[in-house]
Amino acid sequence: MDNIKVEHQLTGISGEFFVAAELAKRNFQVALTLGNAKGIDLFATNQTTENTFEIEVKTLRKKPNCFTLNTKRLNHKKIFIFVYLNEEGTQPDFYILKGDEILADPKFYYGSSLDTERETVNHGPLQKHKDCWDKLN
């Protein structure tokens, strides 16, 4: 796969489908927007609590890399799920954060990219949020 050029759009769609599958496995009703809702990739409703979430999925093929996410897109209500697809045959890694968490300490998540032309969320600060699906209760 290293010799094949992969389109960024396919990477993003892959992440969205993986997240949708994980949520459905956890008893969520999930709707993919397929680009029809600006800044929202999925709408998900927890069937147990009936809470609804707006989710933005950021996907990369492999780690450790930084996820491009302009701070202007952050919002307190939104859920951000960062996905590393990993190698074929290996499960993706999911890092789940609430917008509130990032907004509480943007310097921690963005490091030196904060307030630059290309703001990126760093790999290191995401580690404590791996598989934190309980944030969607």
Report the CATH fold assignment for 8-136.
Trna Endonuclease; Chain: A, domain 1 (3.40.1350)
Which pLDDT tens digit goes with each residue over 99-124?
999 999 999 999 999 999 999 999 99
- Using DSSP's 3-state secondary structure scheme, residue 96 falls into strand
Amino acid at 133: W
Separation CA 111–CA 52 (nearest Å):
31
Which pLDDT tens digit goes with each residue over 57-98?
999 998 889 999 999 999 999 999 999 999 999 999 999 999
Contact, 123 vs 66, CB < 8 A? yes
- Nearest to residue 44, comparing CAs of 73, 17, 23, 25? 23
pTM of the predicted model, to two decimals?
A: 0.92
Contact, 29 vs 49, CB < 8 A? no
Domain-wise residue ranges, the chain: 8-136
